[in-house]
């Protein structure tokens, strides 16, 4: 889902270059949904596997990482909403695209952060022999 969010933002940028505002809005909405869905699923899997942040330091660290990613997902919702508002207001154009480009960069950064975080949480215990 995280990679889909990033790919959808690339699609949104291409739609703007072709002046396809309807498709751009769809891409941004889907990117927002997939980013939130990815964070929600990550949290759900940890909870289903018995994540108890008060139980030990590892669980607390995992919960903090998931919360950090969740915060950034909320930032993506605000930024995506702003892109949509500019699009509906006619202020997002091929020659005025900084809002979309900056939002896409934020999406890519949050995706990279999420993938690294997920990899560390899942693989670090095995790497450390635990």
- Mean pLDDT for 78-93 is 97
pLDDT of res. 77: 97
Q: Which of 51, 84, 50 is nearest to 65 (CA)?
A: 51
- What pTM was computed for the model? 0.90
**What is residue 52's DSSP assignment?**
-
**Integer angstrom CA distances of residue 63 from 50, 68, 83, 105, 122:** 11, 9, 30, 25, 13
Rounded to 5 degrees, what angle do the CA atoms 7, 104, 14 make? 60
Share of the chain above pLDDT 70, in %: 99
Does the pLDDT value for residue 130 go beyond 80? no
């Amino acid at each position: 889902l995280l990679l889909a969010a990033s790919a959808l933002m690339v699609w949104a940028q291409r739609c703007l270059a072709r002046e396809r505002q309807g498709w751009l809005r769809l891409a941004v909405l889907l990117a927002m949904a997939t980013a939130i869905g990815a964070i929600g699923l990550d949290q759900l899997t940890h909870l289903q596997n018995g994540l108890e942040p008060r139980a030990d330091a590892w669980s607390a660290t995992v919960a903090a990482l998931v919360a950090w990613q969740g915060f950034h997902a909320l930032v993506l919702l605000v930024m995506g909403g702003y892109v949509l508002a500019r699009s509906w207001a006619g202020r997002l154009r091929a020659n005025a695209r900084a809002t979309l480009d900056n939002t896409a960069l934020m999406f890519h950064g949050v995706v990279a952060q999420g993938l690294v975080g997920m990899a560390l949480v899942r693989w670090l215990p095995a790497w450390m022999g635990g």
